[in-house]
Amino acid sequence: MKVGIIGSGGREHAVCVSLKKSRNVSKIYCIPGNAGTSLIAENVNIPIDNFEKIKNFILSNAIDIVIIGPEKPLVEGIVDYLEAYNIKVFGPNKAASQLEGSKTFTKNLCKKYNIPTAKFGVFENVKDALIFLENCNLPIVIKADGLAAGKGVYICEKKEDYLQAVHEIFEGKFGQADKILIEEFLKGEEMSFFIISDGKSYKKFGSAQDHKRVFEGDKGKNTGGMGAYSPSRLESKNLEKKILDKIIEPTLKGLNKMDISFMGFLYAGLMIVDDEPYLIEYNVRMGDPECQTILPKLNSDFSEILSSCVNKNLDSNKISWHDDKCLCIVLCSKGYPDKYQNNVQIKNLDKIKLQEGEFIFHAGTQNNDKKIFSNGGRVLNFVIKSNDFKNCRNRGLELINELNWENGFHRKDIGFKVIDK
**Can you spell out the DSSP letters for 30-59?**
EEE--TTGGGTSEE----TT-HHHHHHHHH
Which of 146 and 46 is assigned the larger pLDDT? 46
Note the pLDDT tens digit of each residue in 137-154.
889 999 887 665 555 788
- Ranked by mean pLDDT, the top range of 148-152, 182-186, 201-205 is 201-205
Q: pLDDT at residue 175 above 70? A: no
Note the pLDDT tens digit of each residue in 47-93.
999 999 999 999 999 999 999 999 999 999 999 999 999 999 999 99
Do 300 and 384 belong to one domain? no
- Tell me whether the omega of the peptide bond preceding residue 231 falls within 30 degrees of 0, making it cis: yes
Do 247 and 359 belong to one domain? no
For 324, residues 6+ apart whose C-beta sits below 8 A from its C-beta are 296, 297, 357, 385, 386, 387
Share of the chain above pLDDT 90, in %: 83
pLDDT computed for residue 151 by the predictor: 54
| CATH number, domain with residue 130 | 3.30.1490.20
Q: Which of 145, 33, 283 is nearest to 3 (CA)?
A: 33
Do 176 and 205 belong to one domain? no
Q: How far apart are CA 216 and CA 213, in angstroms?
A: 8
Share of the chain above pLDDT 70, in %: 98
Note the pLDDT tens digit of each residue in 265-299.
999 999 999 999 999 999 999 999 999 999 999 99
Inside any domain, residue 280: yes
Which of 154 and 1 is assigned the larger pLDDT? 1
Inside any domain, residue 114: no
Question: Could you give the number of structural domains in the chain?
Answer: 4
Inside any domain, residue 101: no
Contact present, 177 and 103 (Cβ < 8 Å):
no
Q: How many Cα atoms are found within 13 Å in the side-chain-facing hemisphere of 395?
A: 23
Do 200 and 268 belong to one domain? yes
Helix (H), strand (E) at residue 70: none
pLDDT computed for residue 147 by the predictor: 65
| CATH number, domain with residue 63 | 3.40.50.20
Q: Which of 273, 321, 276, 277 is nearest to 296 (CA)?
A: 321
Helix (H), strand (E) at residue 127: helix 126-133
Which of 279, 296, 316 is at the close of a domain? Answer: 316
Q: How far apart are CA 309 and CA 66, in angstroms?
A: 12
10 Å CB burial of residue 176 (0-12, 13-18, 19+) is exposed
Q: Which of 272, 155, 131, 176 is nearest to 218 (CA)?
A: 155
Q: pLDDT at residue 173 above 80? A: no
Inside any domain, residue 98: no
Do 131 and 236 belong to one domain? no
User: How far are the Cα atoms of 202, 321, 403 from residue 195, in angstroms, in the given order?
Assistant: 7, 14, 35
DSSP conformation letters of 136-203: S-SSEEEEESS--TT--EEEE-SHHHHHHHHHHHHTTBTB--S-EEEEEPP-SEEEEEEEEEESS-EE
Which of 316, 348, 374 is at the close of a domain? Answer: 316
Note the pLDDT tens digit of each residue in 220-258.
988 999 999 999 999 999 999 999 999 999 999 999 999
Inside any domain, residue 273: yes
Residue environment code for 238-248, b if the CB has 16+ CB neighbours within 10 A, otherwise e: ebbeebbebbb
Q: What is the pTM of this model?
A: 0.92
Rg (CA), the chain: 21
Inside any domain, residue 108: no
Which of 128, 150, 184 is at the close of a domain? Answer: 184
User: How far are the Cα atoms of 116, 147, 282, 313, 401 from residue 150, in angstroms, in the given order?
Assistant: 21, 8, 11, 32, 28
Inside any domain, residue 104: no
Helix (H, G, I), strand (E, B) or coil at 74: helix
Do 350 and 412 belong to one domain? yes
Do 243 and 152 belong to one domain? no
Do 292 and 349 belong to one domain? no
Do 196 and 307 belong to one domain? yes
Do 362 and 375 belong to one domain? yes
pLDDT computed for residue 124 by the predictor: 87
Do 160 and 261 belong to one domain? no
Q: pLDDT at residue 384 above 80? A: yes
Interval 342-359 mean pLDDT: 96
Interval 310-328 mean pLDDT: 96
CB atoms within 10 A of CB 371: 12
pLDDT computed for residue 79 by the predictor: 98
Inside any domain, residue 107: no
Do 195 and 307 belong to one domain? yes
| CATH number, domain with residue 369 | 3.90.600.10
Helix (H, G, I), strand (E, B) or coil at 291: helix
DSSP conformation letters of 81-97: HHHTTT--EES--TTTT
User: pLDDT band for position 178 (50/70/90)?
Assistant: confident
Residue 348 DSSP class: S
pLDDT computed for residue 119 by the predictor: 86
CB atoms within 10 A of CB 259: 7
Interval 5-30 mean pLDDT: 98
Helix (H), strand (E) at residue 207: strand 202-210
Q: How far apart are CA 1 and CA 114, in angstroms?
A: 43
Residue 244 DSSP class: I
Q: How far apart are CA 348 and CA 383, in angstroms?
A: 17
Domain housing 384: 325-419
Q: Which residues pair with 179 in a beta bridge?
A: none
Helix (H, G, I), strand (E, B) or coil at 259: coil
